[in-house]
Chain A
Amino acid sequence: MAKNKLIGRNRPTARRQVRCYFCGQMLDVSAKTLSTTCPGCHKAIKVEDVVIKSYLPVNDVQTCGLITVTKRGRIAAKRVQSGDGVVCEGSIEGKVETPGPVQLGPKSSWKGASLTSKTLEVDDGAKLNGLVTVPCEEPEESAIDEKHAKLVRRVEPPNPTASLVKDDLEQPESRPKSAQLTETKPTPKPTVKSTATSKPSATVAKKKKTTSKKKVTKAAAVTADSEAVTARPAMKVIRTRAVRPATEPTAKATVNNPAPSAAAKKTAKKTATKKKKTTKKTSARSSKKPSKDTDA
């Protein structure tokens, strides 16, 4: 099995787990990745290691990797966030937040509102000035999942069938962390599903207005909802494909069929009367013309 996996991937690339500094979502990225988009908050996040060799006045220095400040490096920022830690031999001004270790070299200095890290290593001669919180409180996986679930719930429309999706989301909290990590990625999918369920009902409602036959539309709506509930675990594309043909063609077939028949009858009658008139006129002209010729 392992051999097959290796063959499937062509070659085993080194991967690493990274936590988004915006929402706390865990990502699995390649070791060579420099930046990516968080699947949780859909924001661009930097994954690469950052080395600061000179003066850097910015608002935020944020990366999931390691921030290294060299002897001549100096950061003047509001916030310095890193995933893997901070190694400083120069100076940092600003709030430092990292779940990793912070190393302050012998000639380094830090000054800011707060420094939050897992561990702090201070060499002799280093200067610190600010509120230090070591070790930092790591966000629990369950807390992150709850945040993510809240975001998902905001997106969901008020649908009675949505309760099933919520239950599906709440289940992983009680499961072990390893299971949660694997199941955090598919969580955005239920939102798509719930939105997909709302679409067919809306289209059916529009058709209700246009068509006078309510029974047919109601039946179509019921069939659409029942199909949506049964097809919940499927992907968005599958569901939309499955629902649309059930609603549209049936509505068209039931509603549009009687209308063309009546219209066709009317148009046929009109064309028949017109044809009769034209044939009468032509016959009259033809009858008149030969009489003139005969007279001549």
Chain B
Amino acid sequence: MAEERFFALLIILLNTFSLAVKEVRTLHLLSSLVLGVLIVYRSFKAGYPPLFTSFDSIALFAFLFFLSAYFLRAGRSVSAVGVLLTLPLLFVNPHVREIPPVIRTPLFFLHVGTAFLSYSLFVLSSLFALYSLIGKELSYLKVLLVGHYLFTLSLFFGGVWAYLAWGDIFPLEPKTFFSLFLWFYASLILHLQFDSSLRKFIPYFTAALAPLVLFVYLGVNYLFGGTHGF
């Protein structure tokens, strides 16, 4: 367990250091590599791709976040958000749990993997929208569009899996409700540009996406439970 804490501490130090240096892009790549090594290490330890525990889901989310930040040439403030995202790894229990039989399917990893990738892109588009509000123009809607498509893909995989596992395509429960709301909300942002009177609200709506994503990702399971709280 000490190894996992060491990895988390290393990423936090790397990104804290990035606040003081000019070249942050390399540090984002380095952070994603360290998190990648952590995920591979955990995969061997658990015997399956680690997406199941809180620790692993946070590690994967942070990995995708830093990787997206590298490819999108994100700035220093993204490092600060990265530190906040990685910080829970120091406190969450990194224990390895036996994977329930219902989760032993490739559809689970496709569903969760695409969802996490879309979450990280949503958070990045939200940060880019904040940049735009302070004057630095960034095409955050393109990031949002890719994230929205991946989220659509995740809902599709989730629906197929839910049908095969329970015979239910869209079980009405808190996580699915808030996920559908998030999908509609992102769709709305993408449609706002078609209405001249609403276009000016796009950066504000996009900026509000990050807290909404964090709530759907972390808040819903802890507050409401449901079939997603394994």
- Does B associate with A? no
Interface positions of A (Cβ within 8 A of B): none
